[in-house]
Homo-oligomer: A and B are copies of this chain.
Amino acid sequence: MDTSHHYTQAVTRAVEELSDCRSYQGLFHQYKDGEPLPSGRSLCKIVDLARAILFPGYFGNPTIHSQTMKYHIGVNVEELFALLIEQIQAGLCFGVENGNKECGDTPCRKTATELAAKFISRLPEMRRILATDVEAAYYGDPAATCFGEIICCYPVIRAITNYRIAHELYMLNVPLIPRIITEMAHSETGIDIHPGAQIGHHFTIDHGTGVVIGATCIIGNHVKLYQGVTLGAKSFPLDEQGNPIKGIPRHPILEDDVIVYSNATILGRITIGKGATIGGNIWVTESVPPGTRIVQRKNKDTL
């Protein structure tokens, strides 16, 4: 039948073209043969497990008995550990620039295991600091009725949890994976925090959609942001080939107790001083002294 013939042609031709190695090994094909890339599905599971460990009852199994909680945390930590080893190994392989180093070998797995163990040992500290973020969200919102509501409902908790997980992995020099984890929260909450940013305790973001926190930001304690706030780079120097130079501090520093209202944009390596308040919908590209309050000029006309 004609249809069937067309079928064959359309499918097999497209497959030939799409499988041609020349169409791959050119521009963006950089993986190595037979070594797995980090898996979105596994990293999703990793985030689910970490959330269930850090906030038992609120994520994962909804019923908790204090006498048996240990079993559940034990099983979750063990599974998290196993998945992390595998994904960190995939990340390390991905990160190796030099094709000579082979990644299926023992040293690479050993490194992955050590890094995963370090991460696991940081979980209690992560929970301690996340507890301060819950507090900050609660005391900052008159609509909140209890800590539990904050943990269950507020998107900032998901975003900041993913950030704190990703930041630990980032500090262990695990490639790629930290960014995937914060982008998961970006997709889920609209809050985009780069894993390289440094963020103090009692941090919160209200509503959150559209918030961007760049890779070299430094944020103190008790800082609060509203939706749509950008802490970005103004521009970046290019190297001799015209490529952006990587790794230069280029995002703002927010000292303790700063508040930034909705849709404000703060750009460049400037410092917003302790206790300063930045009003909504404004554009800040110069440092702001401590305690200052900056607001939008009246900018509307009634017709």
Which residues of A line the B interface, CB within 8 A?
Answer: 1, 3-4, 6-15, 17-19, 21, 23-24, 26-28, 30-31, 33-40, 53, 56-59, 62-75, 77-78, 81-82, 90, 94-95, 102, 105-106, 110, 113-114, 116-118, 120-121, 123-124, 127-128, 131, 134-135, 139-143, 145-155, 175-176, 179-180, 183, 186-190, 192, 194, 196, 207, 209-210, 212, 214-215, 226-228, 230, 232-233, 236, 243-248, 250, 262-263, 265, 267, 279-284, 288, 292-297, 299-303
Contacts and interface: CB of A to CB of B under 8 A. Distances in A.
A183 B153 contact: yes
A302 B292 CA distance: 7
Contacts of A19: 69-70, 73-74
Nearest to A94: B148
Given A210-B228, A297-B300, A11 B120 contact: yes
Q: Secondary structure at chain A's binding surface: helix, strand, loop or mixed?
A: mixed
B293 A123 contact: no
A57 B32 CA distance: 10
Contacts of A283: 279-281, 296, 299-300
Contact of A28 (B65, B114, B147, B248): B147
Q: Which 6 A-B pairs have the closest CB atoms?
A: A71-B74, A142-B244, A10-B117, A19-B70, A28-B147, A17-B124
B281 A120 contact: no
A127 B30 CA distance: 15
A169 B247 CA distance: 41
Nearest to A16: B70
Contact of A142 (B14, B15, B56, B245): B245
Contacts of A246: 142-143, 145
A121 B78 contact: no
A286 to B, nearest CB: 10
Contacts of A56: 24
Contacts of A33: 4, 64-66
A73 B18 contact: yes
A209 B192 contact: yes
Contact of A301 (B135, B147, B236, B297): B297
Contacts of A9: 117
Contacts of A227: 192, 210, 212, 230
A78 B68 contact: yes
A18 B265 contact: no
Contact of A299 (B26, B36, B141, B282): B282
Contact of A10 (B121, B243, B302): B121
A244 B137 CA distance: 12
A71 B68 contact: no
Contacts of A279: 283, 300
